[in-house]
Chain A
Amino acid sequence: MKFDKPATNNPIDRQQVVGRPHDRIDGPRKVTGTARYAYEQHDVVPNQAYGYVVGAGIAKGRIASIDYETARKAPGVLAVVTAKEAGNLKKGKRNTAPLLAGPEVGHYHQAVALVVAESFEQARAAASLIKIDYAAAKGAFDLKAAKDKAAKPEGDDPSLDDTHVGDFAAAFARAEVKLDETYTTPDESHAMMEPHATLAAWEGEKLTLWTSNQMVAWGVTDMATTLGIPKENIRIVSPFIGGGFGGKLFLRADVLLAALGARLAKRPVKVALTRPLMINNTTHRPATIQRIRLGATKEGKLTAIGHESWSGDLKGGGPELAVQQTRLLYAGANRMTAMRLAELDLPEGNAMRAPGEAPGLMALEMAMDEMAEKLALDPVAFRLLNDTQVDPEKPERPFSMRRLDECFRIGAERFGWSRRPARPGQTRDGNWLVGFGVAAAFRNNLVMKSGARVSLDAGGVVTIETDMTDIGTGSYTIIGQTAAEMLGVGLDKVVVKLGDSAFPVSAGSGGQWGGNSSTAGVYAACVKLREAVAQKLGINSDEAVFADGEVRAGNRSLPLASAAEGGPLTGEDTIEYGDLDETHQQSTFGAHFVEVGVDVATAETRIRRMLAVCAAGRILNPKTARSQVIGAMTMGAGAALMEELAVDKRRGFFVNHDLAGYEVPVHADIPHQEVVFLDETDPMSSPMKAKGVGELGICGVGAAVANAIYNATGVRVRDYPITLDKLLTRMPDAA
């Protein structure tokens, strides 16, 4: 199905199933431990052996020698894989560094060996017997030091280009009120609960991988490239994923090494990455240095908006797209953005939940708060004053739907924003200095081609098959709801099968495109199935109404199941998109409101309450969508207050590489959270009229927290995370 005209009325608009807060249909399996995650696939193939990955102990250099004779002879050991045994491997196009080092080492904890043994413990014990001598080389590990050498990112992707609209320099120079500040965000880790894990089994030339991967089809392609075997020989099965946040978009060492280990040991092999390896072996969100310049009239109209960002990555990698929201969020005639990329020898940087916008808004929305203060404007009023209904770079290009103003107004009302202390550092509640903060949430809505197959059997059961993944987001449920709505059955009549490359290729989970795109693909397949059903029943499919397990047309009414009496009926299709996302800017919007307390003595910040008001098209399931948003708000709170991969700038690695050292919020950090979704449908996005919501929730949260801290204390900290040491000596008098 080609979606190239705005959606008109369709069966989804009935909202009998879609749009309702159904519990997750996979929930019972998850809470009873019967939803099998990759490492728990104990019974899919017999005779499984265990692999343990050894990570490089240096950040850069080469392996001078590696001696695994003792390890190979250790109890239970079946095989040891190093670059030598691996033979000629290529690199998948989505990986920056090779997944297996040797002799060159490209980053700390890059895999150098896999030990395969009868038990996990034997593999781990034997791994410690491998003796490796490294010839370490000097590397670059400090973004700040490398900043001046950073270059314009290479590649033809237009999102990497510098942008110029109007005459920024002149407008900024003559602006009546100006801001020119630099903000920094640290490297961050996805820190998902489930580690990267894979069970690999060969059957002749055919390889099956039970793994934890957000993008099944990408995994197949990159694995085929890496091993140099045909795509058709690889099957990836990834039905349940214990969190990904972008860390499982691409092939990682567990997948490759499990496959290599299984080939060498001639046994199925399972491999999980340890927590330290998750941090230094896989990807992370790169640190940024961001300079923001804003110029405005005395009345508060922005006349100049400039945003530059510096980030680093391994050679061949890419920048953090921290400026992208600045091109679209606020009106202003003169604007510029630029990104510069430094070559660093830290582990590979890549996408983490709302890449670009998450760190970008932490800077931009703090700058907006500072600017509002310079203008003596309320931060909400200042944002509303600079709202826009069109792409500010191309005013002929409207937003498909943009209700940011309502998010702010409704949020302000609900939060009691009018009670915000206008002067910072003035409100005390016992030992706490109390403050309010606000920030805009903004994240683009990406539409992705997505396929599905839907079948109906004689029992009236509808089965959906698609390689779409559920990374904890609720894909199973919204896909089931979509099919139930389209075919007029209850969710109890729907079976959803996901995450298998044997199924039609979907959008996968990433960039908050999964929910809307994958359900649109299911919609398309259901349209096909409806046609097949109508034809079978001798009903004109244009007139057919699918409801209550029946198909109705005129005064005829037939059981849906009867269409499959002669055998199952199947509809398969792929949703594809025209140029509606080019003629219209499709984005999602929100407003975050946060109240914090800052301990007057210790400068510990504790969040007291959070509110997000979101406008993101049709909300397919308010319950799972709310879970997405509160989870993202929690992640944003972590980014504001505690999350930071600490770089050892001498040795070139992230030092705090476990969950004791890399702190993410715990329950005690997150008190009251409220989420409001505006009731809307966006006909430009897809037949579902939905947009992404999974990343919107993190966008801007960090800045709202930071602005609340400023409002509480009068201390402006521009370097995230805002830990107490950065506030302490500048705190107002405790008296």
Chain B
Amino acid sequence: MRAFSYEKAASPADAAAAAAKHPEAKFIAGGTNLLDLMKLQIETPAHLIDVNGVGLDKIEPTSEGGLRIGALVRNTALAADERVRRDYAVLSRALLAGASGQLRNRATTAGNLLQRTRCPYFYDTAQPCNKRQPGSGCSAIGGFSRQLAVVGVSDACIATHPSDMAVAMRVLDATVETVKADRSTRSIPVGELHRLPGKAPDLDTILDKGELITAVTLPKPVGGTQIYRKVRDRASYAFALISVAAIVQRDGSARIALGGVAPKPWRVGKAETEIGRGAKAATDALLADARPTHDNAFKLPLVERTLGAVLTQARG
């Protein structure tokens, strides 16, 4: 771990000011991912801004009839919130499918969105990795890639985004609110938060340096049957091989987002217009540009079969 300086911010404005002063700073909240990465010297911030004391830990109704989830709301609290369980069940289910009870107690809403890939080569500093060390190459392409992405990938990176929560937020059309170091604020649809790797896989999101997520807002509830189906080798405490977040309405229309297949929560508009034609048609649209490896080609039929099961369950 590289030596770093540390400060505790008292408010979001305070945190923004600190970020303006220390361009190489990182925010730390739950620390469930960042601390591991610092110990491994994958993340080497010179300065840490602890945002645990800035508030932002409430879940409040919005004037539009939705919910505003503070950035510091812990995953456990979010999953257990009565309104979330009632109106956004897919989110509660996705949260509970992730990590462990202990981690969810610590992990925050914003931190969950910003967690980094679990590609094993990213974690081994002796191996080339364009995400960790731009320009060094991608060891995963042609290497062990069973867990990795099949769509949205580039020649530089095939890492997945590991979050379950983010997949549910994508299907719920959530919006991310931020404050920048210059104290300006913006709203970003969650589908635009994460970048595809292209030639710069080191950049996971479109956030600027020092830009702090303050909240995630959920629009007015859309009802429907909400399902989060996570497929994995062991029954708990494993990242998704693939996951399906679905909101299926009585008229048969549905929203679908996938986890474990792409560098970001994966949602394709055309798939939702195809849904009436069944799981195969929807999968074809979702994974139209898939470039699987030998190791992870199974994810294509797995998505189709899982989506089929989810639709059957929803229409039960």
Is A353's beta carbon under 8 Å from chain B?
A: no
Given contacts A602-B231, A602-B305, A723-B233, contact A663 B238 (CB under 8 A): yes
List A contacts of B39 (CB < 8 A): 124
List A contacts of B234 (CB < 8 A): 641-642, 663, 665-666, 668-669
List A contacts of B11 (CB < 8 A): none
Could you pull out 23 A-B pairs where Cβ atoms are within 8 angstroms? A602-B231, A641-B233, A648-B143, A650-B143, A651-B139, A651-B143, A655-B124, A656-B120, A660-B239, A666-B234, A666-B236, A666-B237, A667-B236, A668-B234, A668-B235, A668-B237, A669-B235, A724-B231, A724-B302, A725-B146, A728-B305, A734-B305, A734-B308
User: Which of A601, A656, A660, A668 is the most central at the interface, judged by chain B CB atoms within 10 Å of its CB?
Assistant: A601
Nearest Cβ on chain B to A727's Cβ, whole angstroms: 10
CA distance A658 to B234 in the complex (A): 16
Nearest Cβ on chain A to B241's Cβ, whole angstroms: 7
CA distance A728 to B241 in the complex (A): 13
Which residues in A have some Cβ–Cβ distance to B below 8 Å?
Answer: 55, 57-58, 121, 124-125, 128, 276, 431, 599-604, 606, 641-642, 646-648, 650-651, 655-658, 660-661, 663, 665-669, 721, 723-725, 728-729, 734
Interface residue total, chain B, C-beta cutoff 8 A: 34
Q: Report the tally of A-B residue pairs with Cβ distances under 8 A.
A: 97
A601, B3: Cβ atoms closer than 8 Å? no
Closest A residue to B162 by CB, please name it. Answer: A660
List B contacts of A724 (CB < 8 A): 231, 233, 241, 298, 302
List B contacts of A721 (CB < 8 A): 233
A655, B305: Cβ atoms closer than 8 Å? no
Within the complex, which residue of B142, B239, B298, B309 is in contact with A601, where a contact is CB–CB below 8 Å?
B309
List B contacts of A125 (CB < 8 A): 1-3
A729, B301: Cβ atoms closer than 8 Å? yes
A602, B309: Cβ atoms closer than 8 Å? yes
List A contacts of B2 (CB < 8 A): 125, 128
CA distance A641 to B235 in the complex (A): 11
Is B22's beta carbon under 8 Å from chain A?
A: no
Nearest Cβ on chain B to A124's Cβ, whole angstroms: 6
CA distance A725 to B231 in the complex (A): 11
CA distance A436 to B199 in the complex (A): 50
A657, B41: Cβ atoms closer than 8 Å? no
Secondary structure of the B side of the interface? loop
A601, B233: Cβ atoms closer than 8 Å? no
Within 8 A of A (CB), among B135-187: 139, 142-144, 146
B305, A601: Cβ atoms closer than 8 Å? yes
Nearest Cβ on chain B to A19's Cβ, whole angstroms: 36
Is B232's beta carbon under 8 Å from chain A?
A: yes
User: Which of A602, A666, A724 is the most central at the interface, judged by chain B CB atoms within 10 Å of its CB?
Assistant: A602
Nearest Cβ on chain B to A163's Cβ, whole angstroms: 37
Is B133's beta carbon under 8 Å from chain A?
A: no
Nearest Cβ on chain B to A617's Cβ, whole angstroms: 34
CA distance A128 to B126 in the complex (A): 11
Is B118's beta carbon under 8 Å from chain A?
A: yes
B124, A276: Cβ atoms closer than 8 Å? yes
Within the complex, which residue of A604, A641, A656 is in contact with B231, where a contact is CB–CB below 8 Å?
A604
Given contacts A601-B309, A651-B127, A729-B301, contact A660 B118 (CB under 8 A): yes
Within the complex, which residue of A55, A655, A666, A723 is in contact with B120, where a contact is CB–CB below 8 Å?
A655
User: Which of B121, B142, B237 is the most central at the interface, judged by chain A CB atoms within 10 Å of its CB?
Assistant: B237
Interface string of B223-247 (1 = CB under 8 A from A): 0000000011111111101000000
Nearest Cβ on chain B to A374's Cβ, whole angstroms: 29
CA distance A156 to B301 in the complex (A): 51
Closest B residue to A74 by CB, please name it. Answer: B3
List A contacts of B1 (CB < 8 A): 121, 124-125
CA distance A729 to B3 in the complex (A): 51
CA distance A118 to B41 in the complex (A): 20
List B contacts of A641 (CB < 8 A): 233-234
The 6 A-B residue pairs whose C-beta atoms are closest, nearest first, are A57-B126, A601-B309, A725-B298, A668-B235, A668-B236, A646-B144
Within the complex, which residue of B144, B298, B309 is in contact with A655, where a contact is CB–CB below 8 Å?
B144
CA distance A125 to B44 in the complex (A): 11
CA distance A58 to B128 in the complex (A): 12
Is B249's beta carbon under 8 Å from chain A?
A: no
A666, B233: Cβ atoms closer than 8 Å? no
B232, A604: Cβ atoms closer than 8 Å? yes
CA distance A668 to B241 in the complex (A): 17
Closest A residue to B147 by CB, please name it. Answer: A661
- Supply 16 further A-B pairs (C-beta < 8 A) apart from A601-B305, A642-B233: A55-B126, A121-B1, A125-B1, A125-B3, A642-B234, A648-B143, A658-B120, A660-B118, A661-B120, A661-B123, A668-B237, A669-B235, A724-B231, A724-B233, A734-B305, A734-B308
Is B32's beta carbon under 8 Å from chain A?
A: no
List A contacts of B298 (CB < 8 A): 724-725, 728-729
Is B306's beta carbon under 8 Å from chain A?
A: yes
Nearest Cβ on chain A to B147's Cβ, whole angstroms: 8
CA distance A202 to B196 in the complex (A): 56
List B contacts of A725 (CB < 8 A): 146, 298, 302
Nearest Cβ on chain A to B256's Cβ, whole angstroms: 15
A669, B236: Cβ atoms closer than 8 Å? yes
Given contacts A125-B2, A601-B309, A655-B144, contact A728 B121 (CB under 8 A): no
Closest B residue to A667 by CB, please name it. Answer: B236
Interface string of B199-234 (1 = CB under 8 A from A): 000000000000000000000000000000001111
Closest A residue to B296 by CB, please name it. Answer: A725
List A contacts of B309 (CB < 8 A): 431, 599-602, 734
B120, A657: Cβ atoms closer than 8 Å? yes
List A contacts of B3 (CB < 8 A): 125
Within the complex, which residue of A128, A602, A646, A734 is in contact with B146, where a contact is CB–CB below 8 Å?
A646
CA distance A121 to B127 in the complex (A): 23
List A contacts of B232 (CB < 8 A): 604
Closest B residue to A55 by CB, please name it. Answer: B126
CA distance A601 to B139 in the complex (A): 32
Given contacts A648-B143, A655-B143, contact A728 B233 (CB under 8 A): no
CA distance A660 to B237 in the complex (A): 8
A601, B127: Cβ atoms closer than 8 Å? no
Interface string of B276-293 (1 = CB under 8 A from A): 000000000000000000
List B contacts of A734 (CB < 8 A): 305, 308-309
Given contacts A57-B126, A666-B235, contact A601 B143 (CB under 8 A): no
Nearest Cβ on chain A to B261's Cβ, whole angstroms: 14
Within the complex, which residue of A601, A606, A723 is in contact with B308, where a contact is CB–CB below 8 Å?
A601
List A contacts of B302 (CB < 8 A): 602, 724-725, 728
CA distance A125 to B238 in the complex (A): 30
CA distance A413 to B232 in the complex (A): 34
Within the complex, which residue of B124, B144, B235, B306 is in contact with A606, where a contact is CB–CB below 8 Å?
B235
CA distance A637 to B124 in the complex (A): 28
List A contacts of B308 (CB < 8 A): 601, 734
Within 8 A of A (CB), among B253-308: 298, 301-302, 305-306, 308
B236, A602: Cβ atoms closer than 8 Å? no
CA distance A649 to B32 in the complex (A): 32
CA distance A648 to B140 in the complex (A): 9
Nearest Cβ on chain B to A647's Cβ, whole angstroms: 8
List B contacts of A669 (CB < 8 A): 234-236
A648, B144: Cβ atoms closer than 8 Å? yes
CA distance A48 to B273 in the complex (A): 66
List A contacts of B235 (CB < 8 A): 606, 666, 668-669
User: Which of A57, A600, A655 is the most central at the interface, judged by chain B CB atoms within 10 Å of its CB?
Assistant: A655
List B contacts of A606 (CB < 8 A): 235
CA distance A233 to B114 in the complex (A): 54
B143, A728: Cβ atoms closer than 8 Å? no
List A contacts of B143 (CB < 8 A): 648, 650-651, 655
List A contacts of B127 (CB < 8 A): 57, 651
